[in-house]
Structure 1
Amino acid sequence: MPGMPIRHALPSDAAAIAAVHVRSWQAAYRDLLPAPYLDALDPAERAVAWRERLTDPAGPVVLVAEGAAEAGAVDAFVAFRAWRGEEAAEPSATAELSALYAAPEAWGRGVGRALLAAAVAAMRATGFREAGLWVFEDNARARAFYQAAGWSPDGEAVVEETGGRELRELRYRLSIS
């Protein structure tokens, strides 16, 4: 999205990131997860976790897209880190895209594409050669989004329990070297 400010997240962004995180889950996963679980998600609780991540020197890299309607507001965020299990490798070859969420009213405006491109550029600049992510198999919208950006499933899958429901997640990969 031309002219959309993307910047590194600050600890002061924790509440805004948490609000986007919860609202995005509630909208995107309404058909995948039980309504009582989604309705009980607490932005204040998530804000505490995000503040911890944003102040941890070993935490993920988090970028935010500022809102078009209000200066400084967060419309979306993306987070990445070394692939779990490779944190000690010097340097780790693979980045894990651990989160990419946009406020529902920002969907379809190019915010996610811009953030994903910024994250891949930052991964490359950090020295990662490959990136991976996990996506719910039944999340057709997200799978189409990642595939349009060049990501592809690599055949790995896991079943995780979320909100009392078992969901299959597929691993997607992207070469970024």
Structure 2
Amino acid sequence: MAEASVRPAVPSDAEEIARIQLETWRAAYTDLLPPAVVEALSDDEAALAWRQTIEQGPAQVFVAVEGAYRVGFCAAGPAPQDETADAAGTPAKDVETVALVSTLLVEPRWGRRGHGGRLLAMAGEAMRAAGATRGITWVPEQDKASLAFFERASWVRDGTVRTLDAGGRPLRELRLTGTLRIELA
């Protein structure tokens, strides 16, 4: 295996991050999202959105690299109050110190090589440095691989569920919470 690392994203990474996101969604989420939604995804719009996030936040974006290739990425930042709320809409007591891992994707062909763990560890370190005490993320209920990944990192399902409208099809997501101090094996 070539040398692997994680680093903060820079604006010039935006197009590659968008490519990774869209290719991964097209490969992994075809059963979760209607075909029209997947087909409507725009590389240019996604790249612009990632460039703005990298430059302006509020999330920090990190890129996994193996050799000369960018192979995955993670975005994490302060959790919006409504993302921490329980089913009744009451925000978590520690809302001011909760980080949201909004996206963590590794291209399937680069999977099972430790990139996801390194991404989560670096994002956790950055969020702790910014004052966060724990993290949350939302994962589609049918995305067994992502659920298993976060559970291996000692994150747990906290019982909160939401259903999004994914192009006219309900997409049920589970919220997980866990430590930002990730121990890599």
- Shorter-chain TM-score bucket reads 0.7 to 0.9
8 Å CA contact retained: 1:80, 1:97: yes
8 Å CA contact retained: 2:121, 2:180: no
Q: How does 1:148-163 map to 2 (within 5 A)?
A: 148-163=152-167
Residue 45 (structure 1) shift: 1.5
Corresponding residue for residue 61 of structure 1: 60
| 1:85 counterpart letter in structure 2 | Q
| 1:168 counterpart letter in structure 2 | R
8 Å CA contact retained: 1:152, 1:173: yes
TM-score by length of 2: 0.84
8 Å CA contact retained: 2:58, 2:78: no
Corresponding residue for residue 5 of structure 1: 5
Q: What number of residue pairs does the alignment pair up? A: 171
State the distance in 1 between where 2:14 and 2:64 align: 13
Corresponding residue for residue 92 of structure 2: none
State the distance in 2 between where 1:109 and 1:5 align: 11
8 Å CA contact retained: 2:9, 2:63: yes
Q: How does 1:34-113 map to 2 (within 5 A)?
A: 34-56=34-56, 58-68=57-67, 71=68, 73-85=69-81, 92-113=96-117
- Structure 1 regions of 5+ residues with no counterpart? none
8 Å CA contact retained: 1:135, 1:169: yes
SS at structure 2 position matched to 1:92: helix
State the distance in 1 between where 2:179 and 2:46 align: 31
State the distance in 2 between where 1:142 and 1:173 align: 13
- Structure 2 regions of 5+ residues with no counterpart? 83-94
State the distance in 2 between where 1:170 and 1:18 align: 24
Residue 31 (structure 1) shift: 1.5
8 Å CA contact retained: 2:135, 2:177: yes
Runs of 4 or more off by more than 6 Å in structure 1? none
SS at structure 2 position matched to 1:171: strand
SS at structure 2 position matched to 1:5: strand
Deviates more, 1:152-161 or 1:113-122: 113-122
TM-score by length of 1: 0.88
Residue of 119, 133, 138 corresponding to 2:137: 133
Residue 99 (structure 1) shift: 0.6
1:172 is the counterpart of 2:176: yes
Residue 2 (structure 1) shift: 8.8
Identity %: 37
State the distance in 2 between where 1:80 and 1:140 align: 21
State the distance in 2 between where 1:152 and 1:41 align: 31
Residue 96 (structure 1) shift: 0.3
State the distance in 2 between where 1:4 and 1:53 align: 24
Corresponding residue for residue 19 of structure 2: 19
